[in-house]
Structure 1
Amino acid sequence: MFQIPSLDDLLARARAAFRTYLKGSDAWSWPNNIYASAKVIAGMAFEVFGFASYISKMIFASTAPDIETLRLHGAEFGLPQLPAGPGEGNVIFTTDDAIGVETSATLQRADGAVYLVVTPGSLPGAGTLQLSVIAQADGAASNVVEGTPLVALSGVTASGSYTIAVAAGGITQGIDVEDKESYRQRILFRKRNPPHGGSASDYVIWARQISGVSRVFVERLWAGPGTVRVFFFMDGIYPDGIPDAAAVTRLQNYIETVMPAGSLLTVAAPTPRPIDVIIRNLMPDTVRTREAVLTELRAAFLRLGRVAGQDTVHGGMPYLASPATFSLSWIYQSVANAADVDSFDLDFPVVDTPLKVGETAVPGTISFV
C-alpha cells in the first residue's frame, strides 16, 4: 500500500533535489532563496498528496469520508439518504364547556415545538376530545411522551376553560435525517447482497428503505411454502426499538409494493423478553461505576440482540430469524468491560436465556445488591 509522505519527508526531498540538480546550492542553509523555495514546493506537493488521499477514500463506500460522497455511491444503486420525518400522534382536549378545534389549529409545547391538528373536532359541552396531530418540524425532537401538556396558539374556540395533553402512546415517528454510518451500512449491504428476486436479503433492503428502521430479521417459510415473516426494530424511536402497530402496518404496506407477487408476507414487531440482572459486590460501588455498567449492558442488548425464529441457522445470513439464546457470557463480559469495574458477582441470571419464536432479549430490571 502506498504510504503518503509526511511534510518533513517532502521538504527533505525538495532540498535534496536542489542540491542534486542545482550544483552549489544548499536548501538547508538560511538565509537564501533556495531554502524558501524548497518549503513552498514541499507544501504544494503535500497538498496534492492530501487531495489524492481524499480521492482514494472517496472511491469506496466503506471509506467515503463525507455524506456527499456517500450520496454518490447510493445514487448508483437508487438508494437515497433517508429524510427526516415529523412526529405524529394524538392529543386530548379536556374542557368544561363547548369547544371547537379547526384543521391546522396550532398547539405548542413548553420548549416552543409546534404541532398541527390533522382532524378537526368539537364538543357541545364538557368532556374530552381526542384529535390527531403532526409536528410542524421534522426530527426525533418532535416526539413527545404521554401526558405532556400543550397550549393552543390558534384554531381553538372554547366557551370555557380547557387543557391539552398528549394522549396515550405519545407523539412518535419523528425521525432525524439518516446519519452517515447508517447510510454507509445500507449501501454496503446492498453491494454485498445484490437483488435476487425475493431472497431473504431483499426483504432486509426493502425494510431499511423506510425511515427509522434499524435492524431487520427475516423468517422464511414460517407458515409454509411462499410465506415470509419480517421482524424489525426502530432503535432510538421506540423503547427497546420495538415498533408500534402503526409502524408495522406502514412497513407491511410498503414491502407489499416491491415484493414478488407469489409471496405471502407478514410483518411483525418482536416480542420483548426482559432479562433481569442482579449484580452483587460491585467494586468500586459508586454512582459512576453503576452508570458505566448500565451503559455497557444496554449496548450489549442492542448489539447482540436478535429475533428468534424457526429459520435455519446460516453463517452467511446473520439476519435470519433462527433459534437463539441470550448468552450469560455476554452479560458477564459487558459488566467486566464497564469503566472502573474491578470485580463483581453475578447473582442472576445463572444460565443462558433461551428465546421463543418471535422474542428478542431486552434489558429487564438491573439491580445492585
Structure 2
Amino acid sequence: MPFKVPTLTELNNQVQQDIINAGVPGIETVLKNSVIGTIGTVQAGLSWSHYSFLGNIARQSVPWTATDEYLAGWGNLKNVYRKAPTRATGLVEFTVVDDSVIVPKGTQIRRNDGWSYVTMEDSIRNQAHIQSVENGIDGNSDQTAVLTLGQALAGVNVNVKVLSPITGGADLEDEDDYRSRVIQAFRTSGSLGREQEYIMWAESVHQVSRAWVGRNSFGSGTVVIWIMCDDANTSNNGFPIGDNGTSDKEKRYKTATGDQLAVANYIWDKQPVTSLVIVCSPIPQPVDFVISDLDINNTLDNQNAIRAALKDLFRREAAPGKNMHPSAWDRAIASITTLTQYTITSPVTTIIAESEGNLPILGKVTFQT
C-alpha cells in the first residue's frame, strides 16, 4: 500500500494537538499567535520539508520518475543520452552581377520573421550552405522561405533564393520523451541486435521521431530501418530528406545520404558485425477522408479537431506495411467531445499497405454537410 505523505496542514494540526496533549500545566488550548503555537507551526514546517526531501529521493531512485540530472544519470548507465538541440542547415543561391563576385563565409542572412542564418563557406558558383545562428526547430523552413542579406554586399542582390528545405534544427529533447527511451533501454537488456535495439538506436538520432525494422527485407542478413522525422522535417511531411542506403563505412551496398546517412553512421558501431543495415524512408501512401452529415457541427473548429485527431492517429498507429482498420479512425473522431453528429463516408474498408515499405499517412480531408 502506498505511503500517504501528510500535508503541511495535517502536520501543523498534529503538532498543535500534541502540544495540548503533552500534559503541560495550564495549557488546554493553543492560541493562534502564542509563542508555543508558533514554535509548533515551525516544527510542522520542518517536518514537512523532511518528507518532501525523502519524497524527492524516492522519485530520483528509479528511472520512471527521475528528473533532470538524475534521469540523465540513469540514461548514462545504458548509453542513452538526451538529444541535444541542433541548428538547421540548407543550401541557398545568390544573384550576383558577375561570377567573379564571392559571398564570403559568415555572411548573415535573415528570414522575413527575423530568424538569422550565416553562410558556412565562401560561395561556389553563387551557392553556399547556410546554418541557423540559434539552435531549435524554429530554424527549419521550406523552399518558400523569404531570405534576404543581413547587410548589403557590393554586386549581390539583397534577395536570397532557397534551393533546398532548411532542415535539421531541433529543440532539446522533451524530458518525457527522453524518459521513455531510458525506460525502454532498461527493458531491452544486453546488445544482441534485437529489433527493439535497432529502433532505440535509430530514435537516438536527434531528428528521428519514429523508426521501424524489417527483417531480411532486402535479402538474407539484411536489416531495413524505416525512419520518420516528424518534427524536424515538417516541410517534407515528416519524411527523411536524403537517399536510402547504408553507412559510409559499409562496402556491401550503396551509401545513404542526408537523414538516412546520419542514422546509418550512428548505428554502425553498435550493430552486429555481420548485419547489412539499410536505412530507408517509408513510401508515403496518402489516405483521403470524406466526413459528411455534420449539419450544425460543420464548424471550422470541429474541422480542425477532426484533422488533428486523424493526424495524431496516423502518427501513433501507422507503420510501414501495416494495414489500418476502420475502427481506428472511428475511435479517433469519436473522441472529439464537440461532435454530436457525423458520418465517415470514406474510407469504409481496411487500408491495405501497398508494400512492406508503404506508410499510410493522412491525405485530403473533405467535409460535407
Partner of 1:314: none
Over 3 Å counting, the alpha-carbon distance change for 1:78 and 1:254 in structure 2 is: closer
Equivalent position amino acid for 1:49 in 2: Y
Partner of 2:179: 184
Partner of 2:28: 26
Question: TM-score scaled by structure 2?
Answer: 0.87
Aligned-partner SS, 1:325: coil
Aligned-partner SS, 2:169: coil
Aligned-partner SS, 2:342: strand
CA distance in 2, matches of 1:122, 1:277: 46
Alignment of 1:5-20 (within 5 A): 5-20=6-21
Pick one of 256, 267, 270 that aligns with 2:279: 267
Return 5+ residue gaps in structure 2 as ranges: 243-257
Whether the aligned pair in 1 keeps the contact of 2:109 and 2:116 (CA below 8 Å) is yes
Deviation at 1:30, TM superposition (A): 4.4
Pick one of 187, 193, 201 that aligns with 2:196: 201
Pick one of 91, 115, 118 that aligns with 1:116: 118
Deviation at 1:184, TM superposition (A): 0.6
Over 3 Å counting, the alpha-carbon distance change for 1:165 and 1:52 in structure 2 is: same
Deviation at 1:269, TM superposition (A): 0.9
Partner of 1:163: 159
Deviation at 1:149, TM superposition (A): 2.5
CA distance in 1, matches of 2:211, 2:122: 37
Equivalent position amino acid for 1:225 in 2: S
Deviation at 1:287, TM superposition (A): 1.3
Whether the aligned pair in 2 keeps the contact of 1:270 and 1:307 (CA below 8 Å) is yes
1:140-175 CA distance string (max 9 Å, x none): 1111221322222369541x64631212x3111111
CA distance in 1, matches of 2:47, 2:158: 71
1:102-132 CA distance string (max 9 Å, x none): 2232222223322222342356xxxxx3322
Pick one of 140, 150, 153 that aligns with 1:143: 140
Equivalent position amino acid for 2:222 in 1: T
Equivalent position amino acid for 1:35 in 2: G
CA distance in 1, matches of 2:124, 2:320: 44
Over 3 Å counting, the alpha-carbon distance change for 1:31 and 1:83 in structure 2 is: closer
Pick one of 35, 42, 63 that aligns with 1:40: 42
Whether the aligned pair in 1 keeps the contact of 2:326 and 2:349 (CA below 8 Å) is yes
Pick one of 196, 221, 224 that aligns with 2:219: 224
| 2:324 paired with 1:326 | yes
Aligned-partner SS, 1:347: strand
Deviation at 1:277, TM superposition (A): 0.7
Aligned-partner SS, 1:131: strand
Whether the aligned pair in 1 keeps the contact of 2:148 and 2:158 (CA below 8 Å) is no
Equivalent position amino acid for 1:18 in 2: I
CA distance in 2, matches of 1:136, 1:32: 61
Over 3 Å counting, the alpha-carbon distance change for 1:122 and 1:229 in structure 2 is: closer
Equivalent position amino acid for 1:56 in 2: A
Over 3 Å counting, the alpha-carbon distance change for 1:27 and 1:5 in structure 2 is: farther
1:192-216 CA distance string (max 9 Å, x none): 1013322212212221221121111
Partner of 2:365: 366
Deviation at 1:57, TM superposition (A): 1.3
Over 3 Å counting, the alpha-carbon distance change for 1:148 and 1:47 in structure 2 is: same
Which has the larger displacement, 33-42 or 2-11? 33-42
CA distance in 1, matches of 2:110, 2:217: 46
CA distance in 2, matches of 1:27, 1:44: 22
Whether the aligned pair in 2 keeps the contact of 1:95 and 1:163 (CA below 8 Å) is no
CA distance in 1, matches of 2:152, 2:180: 44
CA distance in 1, matches of 2:50, 2:107: 57
Work out the percentage of aligned pairs sharing the same amino acid.
23
1:276-319 CA distance string (max 9 Å, x none): 110001142211111111111111111112222xxxxxxxxxxx
CA distance in 2, matches of 1:237, 1:4: 42
Question: TM-score scaled by structure 1?
Answer: 0.87
Alignment of 1:57-96 (within 5 A): 57-64=59-66, 66-96=67-97
CA distance in 2, matches of 1:94, 1:340: 52
Whether the aligned pair in 1 keeps the contact of 2:288 and 2:362 (CA below 8 Å) is yes
Whether the aligned pair in 2 keeps the contact of 1:101 and 1:121 (CA below 8 Å) is yes
Whether the aligned pair in 2 keeps the contact of 1:105 and 1:155 (CA below 8 Å) is no
User: Which stretches of structure 1, 4 residues or more, deviate above 6 A after TM superposition?
Assistant: none
Whether the aligned pair in 2 keeps the contact of 1:105 and 1:156 (CA below 8 Å) is no
| 2:288 paired with 1:293 | no
1:26-72 CA distance string (max 9 Å, x none): 344445333222222212211211222222111122112x3233212
Return 5+ residue gaps in structure 1 as ranges: 124-128, 309-323
